């Protein structure tokens, strides 16, 4: 059997194949009013197409646990029940196609309140519909970005509660997997890294203190997320800094701790917390970080990062470098990549009845 098309079981959930879609923001929700953060027709069509194309698991894009946790005013949210109910159309369709619906719960931290990428992605002020970003420390992400407000301990506790409430709503919305966004320089990742976390209280300084918020969020979500459903954690395995940043060694150390707290899989990415760093981008450039976690810890991993070719993806799994692959840009280009891979590898993959002529 092809490694890509071998089913994968976590807790009581079996995912039909190892071809997964990572969260990729669409910046297409209403920015304000009663529809703020609510998934629209675009979101349904976008995710439905990849499910019809045979993708085994789809992680819905970074979905904010609070209004100020959005990257942009146009992000999805799950801080109220109206938003949660609106996701049902998508989760029901994905399940009908045999695809597992997952959702990434997120808080943008100091990288919040920005314009959409195709509008330049620059920070926007309160006069343009923006807001004051929040962060572990009053340190701007980059030149030209606002200095965020440093979270108080009371506010940190509120954020932990917001993640738990978002997970509860995600369950009501029909999701089978919850993923916590601890990567790419957003709030949880900002606490992990000494590059962005300059606190001197129990949430800053030592490795144990910098990981405290992440573990509190994991514990709070695990309390409301059913024991038979998996919980993922996305991490940037390195800040790509020579010093004073989060490192691959810390990622390996943290992986075992996450498993002890009930995380079932580490979604391994890199970067995003420091501006202006040089990243050696090439096909599969992040896979070695996932492979190291898999080799040195007991926590399953998913690999991401310019995985585009069928043979490349198959080799990653066959070599034991990861338990699943996440295809981002390639699934934007080809929603039916999984069906194409199935044809190349001689494997069975879901094909909707309406598309039987394509077999």
So what's the pLDDT on residue 183?
Answer: 98
Give, in order, the Cα–Cα distances in Å from 210 to each of 5, 241, 257.
38, 17, 13
What is the fold, at CATH topology level, of the domain defined by 8-358?
Answer: TIM Barrel (3.20.20)
Provide the residue count of the chain. Answer: 359
pLDDT digits (tens, 9 = 90+) for 250-265: 999 999 999 999 999 9
Examine the pLDDT at 182 and tell me if it is beyond 90.
yes
Question: So what's the pLDDT on residue 348?
Answer: 87
pLDDT above 90 for 186 = yes
For 68-128, the DSSP string reads: GG-SSTTS-B-SSHHHHHHTHHHHHHHHHTTPEEEEEEE--GGG-SB--GGGT--B--GGG
- Listed range (1-5, 88-92, 149-153, 224-228) with the worst mean pLDDT: 1-5
- Shortest CA distance to 3 belongs to which of 316, 230, 307? 316
Q: Which two tokens stand for residue 266?
A: 């580490």
End-to-end CA distance of the chain: 19
What pLDDT score does 174 carry? 98
Percent of the chain scoring above 70 in pLDDT: 100
Cα(237)–Cα(286) distance, integer angstroms: 9
Q: Are 17 and 7 in contact (CB under 8 A)?
A: yes
| pLDDT tens digits for range 224-239 | 999 999 999 999 999 9
The residue annotated as part of the active site, out of 186, 203, 285, 355, is 186
Q: What is the mean pLDDT of residues 280-302?
A: 97
Residue 194 has pLDDT above 80, yes or no: yes
pLDDT at position 307? 97
Beta strands in the chain (DSSP E): 8-10, 13-15, 19-21, 57-64, 100-106, 134-135, 149-150, 177-182, 231-236, 265-269, 301-304, 324-326
Token pair belonging to 7: 């089913």
Angle subtended by helix axes 337-345 and 310-318, to nearest 10:
70
Q: What is the DSSP string of 222-249?
A: HHHS-TTS-EEEEEES----SSSS--HH
Q: What is the pLDDT of residues 102-135, one digit of tens each?
A: 999 999 999 999 999 999 999 999 999 999 999 9
Over residues 200-224, the pLDDT tens digits come to: 999 999 999 999 999 999 999 999 9
Cβ contacts of residue 67 below 8 Å, gap of 6+?
36, 37, 77, 79, 131
* Measured distance CA(271)–CA(282) in Å, rounded: 14
- Residue spans per domain, the chain: 8-358
Q: Please report the pLDDT score of residue 350 as a whole number.
A: 87
Residue 329 is encoded by which pair of tokens?
A: 């840009």
Q: Any catalytic annotation for residue 186?
A: yes
Q: Is the pLDDT of residue 198 over 90?
A: yes
- Which two tokens mark 290? 């996932």
pLDDT value for 1: 81
User: Above 90 in pLDDT, residue 359?
Assistant: no
d(CA 37, CA 73): 8
């Amino acid at each position: 059997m092809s490694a890509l098309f071998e089913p994968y079981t976590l807790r009581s959930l079996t995912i039909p194949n190892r071809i997964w879609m990572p969260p990729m923001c669409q910046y297409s929700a209403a920015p304000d009013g009663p529809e703020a953060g609510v998934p629209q027709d675009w979101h349904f069509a976008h995710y439905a197409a990849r499910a019809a194309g045979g993708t085994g698991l789809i992680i819905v894009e970074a979905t904010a646990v609070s209004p100020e946790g959005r990257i942009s005013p146009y992000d999805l949210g799950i801080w109220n029940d109206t938003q949660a109910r609106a996701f049902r159309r998508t989760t029901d369709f994905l399940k009908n196609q045999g695809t597992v619906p997952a959702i990434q719960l997120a808080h943008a931290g100091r990288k919040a309140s920005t314009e959409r990428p195709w509008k330049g992605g620059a920070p926007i002020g309160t006069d343009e519909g923006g807001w004051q970003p929040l962060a572990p420390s009053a340190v701007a992400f980059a030149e030209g970005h606002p200095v965020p407000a440093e979270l108080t301990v009371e506010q940190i506790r509120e954020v932990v509660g917001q993640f738990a409430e978002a997970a509860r709503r995600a369950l009501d919305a029909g999701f089978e997997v919850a993923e916590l966004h601890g990567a790419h320089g957003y709030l949880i990742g900002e606490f992990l890294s000494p590059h962005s976390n300059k606190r001197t209280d129990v949430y800053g300084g030592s490795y144990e203190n910098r990981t405290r918020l992440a573990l509190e969020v994991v514990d709070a979500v695990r309390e409301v997320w059913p024991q038979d459903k998996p919980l993922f954690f996305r991490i940037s395995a390195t800040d790509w800094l020579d010093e004073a940043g989060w490192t691959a060694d810390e990622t390996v150390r943290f992986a075992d701790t996450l498993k002890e707290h009930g995380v079932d899989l580490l979604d391994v990415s890199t970067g995003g917390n420091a501006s202006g760093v040089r990243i050696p981008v090439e096909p599969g450039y992040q896979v070695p970080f996932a492979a190291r976690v898999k080799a040195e810890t007991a926590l399953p991993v998913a690999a991401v990062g310019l995985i585009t070719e069928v043979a490349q993806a198959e080799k990653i799994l066959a070599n034991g470098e990861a338990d699943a692959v996440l295809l981002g840009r390639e699934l934007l280009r080809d929603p039916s990549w999984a069906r194409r891979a199935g044809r190349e590898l001689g494997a069975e993959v879901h094909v909707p009845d309406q598309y039987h002529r394509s077999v």
